[in-house]
A and B are shown apart, each in its own frame.
Chain A
Amino acid sequence: KAGVTQTPRYLIKTRGQQVTLSCSPISGHRSVSWYQQTPGQGLQFLFEYFSETQRNKGNFPGRFSGRQFSNSRSEMNVSTLELGDSALYLCASRGRVEDSPLHFGNGTRLTVT
């Protein structure tokens, strides 16, 4: 069974630009979550999608948005990039929503210059 696939693996952008990250969950998984990981803050929850609907949202500004498609693939978008957005962005999927663990992709390393 293929794991969670994230593209691209690395991105370099400049301040003010926008970026779109993509995530394909494990086949059959309908829940997709996004996390931002930085050395100082650790893993911080961005949002979760289930059946194309946003179920939960973390405490990030509106510049961070996401969506999920009917095939469960998900994208997240960050507009008007800031230097502080440099981070590892991790996507994770889960099978049954209740109790099941998250399975993470390899992440997208975003660098904003």
Chain B
Amino acid sequence: NAGVTQTPKFQVLKTGQSMTLQCAQDMNHEYMSWYRQDPGMGLRLIHYSVGAGITDQGEVPNGYNVSRSTTEDFPLRLLSAAPSQTSVYFCASSYVPPGQGKGNTIYFGEGSWLTVV
């Protein structure tokens, strides 16, 4: 998963605490997104961005904020952590090349394991 870097890889939070998951990519991709993966399930989209200054909600946005001040960075903020936010979080970046879109242009980070107690 070269090119998409997530930090931290592991984090334990107490209920009510806030934190930021960092995501950075060095491929100059326009599009970035955050997903969460709960045990035994597929990934679900939290928020996404189609460029600097532009963000929108995905399927499960409640409890999370995002901003995109630069092309490279797309941090995910948990405002007041809840046990229901215990999950694995994936950041992804992508671009659409000229002409046909191709699936292998979506790159995932290695994931961030978050536990809220």
The judgment on whether A and B are partners is no
List residues of chain A with CB under 8 Å of any chain B CB.
none
List residues of chain B with CB under 8 Å of any chain A CB.
none
